[in-house]
Chains A and B, each alone.
Chain A
Amino acid sequence: NAGVTQTPKFQVLKTGQSMTLQCAQDMNHEYMSWYRQDPGMGLRLIHYSVGAGITDQGEVPNGYNVSRSTTEDFPLRLLSAAPSQTSVYFCASSPHGREVAGELFFGEGSRLTVL
């Protein structure tokens, strides 16, 4: 099993451009999520999904869209990139539901720079 796969690993955008960060998992996990990690701060939740067709906002959702058409995939879309979105983005999945805080399995991260 590959686990959680993120692409691309590195990306440079200009302000105003749009792009999609891809995330795929092959563990049949119900729960998937996107975090951003900035220097000196803990991981912050952007969006999450508890199953195909179900998504919800996290702590910092503005400027990002998600969809969950399949169990395996959970892409993160930047609608109009801003320098404040320069960060390292992590996708994570978990087999557990809401009552139990299951272990999160993280991807390797996608480093995004917005000029």
Chain B
Amino acid sequence: KNQVEQSPQSLIILEGKNCTLQCNYTVSPFSNLRWYKQDTGRGPVSLTIMTFSENTKSNGRYTATLDADTKQSSLHITASQLSDSASYICVPYDRGSTLGRLYFGRGTQLTVWP
């Protein structure tokens, strides 16, 4: 059964500090993986997409990594800001089925304190 496990479930850091969020998945056959950011009371917004052949991709202070062999991805946030407080959701895609088969993780709730 395809699954997505994210860790930690929640995380509190001080403003300016770095953090790394983890995602382990068992989706197969794997196509790509997106990280979404969901602010409280809002809909998720895509941060970045990692395809099968990519190892690292940066989007400003966000850097995503992917190891397709071990089925692990991480999202590293550098120099955190208060606006980074949100839930971060890992979403791998199973290319063996329709677009409807995106697998949403439960998310990591990040809180950045001043």
Contact = CB atoms under 8 A, between A and B. Distances in A.
Contacts, number: 60
A104 B41 contact: no
A74 interface: no
A50 B107 contact: no
Contacts of A4: 43
Interface residues of A, number: 29
Contact of A43 (B42, B95, B104): B104
Nearest to A30: B99
B23 to A, nearest CB: 11
Given A42-B4, A43-B104, 4 more contacts: A42-B89, A98-B99, A101-B31, A106-B43
Most buried by A among B32, B41, B100: B100
A56 B100 contact: yes
A96 B99 CA distance: 9
Interface of A: 4, 31, 33, 35, 40-45, 48, 50, 56, 58, 90, 92, 94, 96-99, 101-104, 106-109
A94 B34 CA distance: 14
A40 to B, nearest CB: 6
B76 interface: no
Contacts of A102: 99
Interface residues of B, number: 23
A41 B106 contact: yes
B42 A101 contact: no
The 4 closest A-B pairs by CB, nearest first: A106-B43, A42-B104, A101-B93, A43-B104
Interface string B22-42: 000000000110100000011
A47 B110 CA distance: 30
B99 A31 contact: yes
B104 A101 contact: no
A101 B102 contact: yes
Interface in B17-75: 31-32, 34, 41-46, 49
A58 B98 CA distance: 10
Contacts of A50: 98-99
B26 to A, nearest CB: 14
